[in-house]
Structure 1
Amino acid sequence: MDIKSKGGTQSIRRALHLLRLIAQNEDSGLSLQELTQLSGLERSTAHRVVACLMDENFVRKDAASKRYELGIDAMQIGFSAMHRIPIADELRPLAKRLCRLSDDTVFLVAQQGDHALCLAREHGDFPVRIFTIDAGEKRLMGIGAGGLALIAGYSDEEIAHIHARHTEEYEQAGLPLRTLMLKARQTRRNGYSEIVDGITQGVSGVGYAFSLSQITRVAISFGAINPRLDAARRKQMGELLARECKAWVQARQQAGA
């Protein structure tokens, strides 16, 4: 996005850009210096725009840390749309198609700060169904196939920062930083994530992450019992998942969504 372009929409674009940056870093917040660096705006411009957003309650400044976070009106807009869950509505046909192709359980998650929020779960015809997470539940990125696919999109340095914010929870999940890094790197190499005995013993999964907008990233994953999702089938289903999701994104872009 060219936030420095001339025209009457320039200020709007700048404000939206800063809101996106703050939303992307909601778990840690952003200092004015970080906002300036990430946005590419002059410090005075960034300060003026974020001050306006604060006046309108779209941004708040934490009194202790002096870092900027989403304000109550930004949150309210999100809450107002939650009863529809438009992401789930849009992606449900793809999830159902993947169920038909695999006969397995399919999960749809969306990134929410450092977490992956489950938006939908669809069951295929295979008689053993997987219930590791349900719609409305969330877990840290990296825990579960969808969350691992999401966190693998970050650099090693960014993953280290995320892990540092939630070290105890990651350790409890059996994911010290070194293990999480190794899994993220393997995901990047393969083009899809793999887990075995992750959230639940005896359950395996594969996942693929992609973007719907500048700040909205989602992941879709398959889950099945270990004997059904062995190494050979994880590769087969991971490649199927990546191929189907890429085709869906391409069709969406061509349709101008």
Structure 2
Amino acid sequence: MDKPASKPTESATGTAGAQSLRRALSLLRLLAEHQEDGITLTEVMAASGLERSTAHRLLSCLAEEQFAERDPDTKSYRLGIDAMQLGFASMRRVPLVDNCKPLMQKLARMSGDTVFLVIRQGDYCLCLAREEGHFPVKVFTTDVGGRRLLGLGAGGLALMSQLSDAEIERIHDRHAEEYLHANFTRECLLQAVRRTRAIGYADITDTLTVGVSGVGCTFTASASTQAAISFGAISPRLPPERKKEMAKLLMEQLIQQRSATGDGGQPA
């Protein structure tokens, strides 16, 4: 049985009397992070710190309401159809996308290249928006709603650079085979992250697609959300010197947006 929790106060922990709701929302986030392979009840307990009875009760309720589903063979949980429908509905109008769209259009116009907006979603980065300049890269497969492992694309590498080395190693170990397919050993991934931290922006060449390069920079989207904007182009359009120019342009424009709007544009 869970220990009785003291009543939360609005100033200390948020809205009072909403502990069960917060726990359920926390489990939904946990399911989203493990959507690919699913997560078992035991793993949910370990990750959430909840007692078995509480975790099982909340997961059962989420499953009854179709916000979660349980695989009868593996006994693992994933997001259910109703959770996915909410996600799809929210994609139609995302405040972050609305705020960043003018900047992305400006960057695409100024550079002529393709501009991406991504956020972290568990071990992956999720593409929220894409703007094409007058010289768009037609070989890209990343589109709005698409996901890639953190560290592989310019935006994903920029986001990963904000994590601790220990967390990066855990992410790599969970997806070692996929990273290996992209020629990323654990040490190669850490080297790319350390270089990103050192120069202040992500710089990739041939990571996702041979002949395609990119640069990316993170910014604080909200108190709890880091996002990244990146450029993508065929490698001849992004030699080392132009990468530096594009990174400088990106960081300057993010700072300008921050100054103009007061939010959504502080480079990390």
- TM-score normalised to structure 2 length: 0.73
Q: Give the aligned residue type for 1:209.
A: T
Cα distance, 1:201–1:48 mapped onto 2, change above 3 Å: closer
Residue equivalent to 1:194: 203
CA distance in 2, matches of 1:238, 1:244: 10
Residue equivalent to 1:91: 100
Deviation at 1:213, TM superposition (A): 5.7
> Is the Cα contact below 8 Å between 2:70 and 2:78 reproduced in 1?
yes
CA distance in 1, matches of 2:142, 2:54: 43
CA distance in 2, matches of 1:22, 1:246: 35
Q: Give the aligned residue type for 2:137.
A: I
Q: Secondary structure at the match of 2:262?
A: helix
Cα distance, 1:65–1:217 mapped onto 2, change above 3 Å: farther
Residue equivalent to 2:8: 5
CA offset digits 1:107-150 (Å, max 9, x no partner)? 2234445443444332335xx43232352444333222122223
Cα distance, 1:19–1:213 mapped onto 2, change above 3 Å: farther
What count of residue pairs does the alignment treat as equivalent? 250
Alignment map for 1:36-47 (pairs within 5 Å): 36-41=45-50, 44-47=53-56
Residue equivalent to 2:262: 251
The reply on whether 1:135 has 2:146 as its aligned counterpart is no
CA offset digits 1:75-107 (Å, max 9, x no partner)? 222233444566544421121122244343212
- TM-score normalised to structure 1 length: 0.75
CA distance in 2, matches of 1:129, 1:29: 36
Residue equivalent to 2:13: none
Q: Give the aligned residue type for 2:143.
A: A
Moved more, 131-140 or 183-192: 131-140
**Alignment identity in percent?**
49
Cα distance, 1:243–1:31 mapped onto 2, change above 3 Å: farther
The reply on whether 1:179 has 2:182 as its aligned counterpart is no
Q: Secondary structure at the match of 1:238?
A: helix
Deviation at 1:185, TM superposition (A): 2.3
Give the alignment partner of residue 80 of structure 1, picking from 83, 86, 89.
89
CA offset digits 1:173-227 (Å, max 9, x no partner)? 2223322221122223333211123333443211123464688654211123445
CA distance in 2, matches of 1:217, 1:23: 17
- 5+ long unaligned stretches in structure 2: 1-5, 10-15
Alignment map for 1:102-251 (pairs within 5 Å): 102-125=111-134, 128-131=135-138, 132-136=140-144, 137-210=146-219, 212=221, 218-245=227-254, 248=257, 251=262
Cα distance, 1:217–1:73 mapped onto 2, change above 3 Å: farther
Cα distance, 1:27–1:186 mapped onto 2, change above 3 Å: farther
CA offset digits 1:21-71 (Å, max 9, x no partner)? 322333344444544454455555444433332332222334444443222
CA distance in 2, matches of 1:15, 1:212: 24
CA distance in 2, matches of 1:109, 1:122: 12
Q: Secondary structure at the match of 2:60?
A: helix
CA distance in 2, matches of 1:154, 1:113: 12
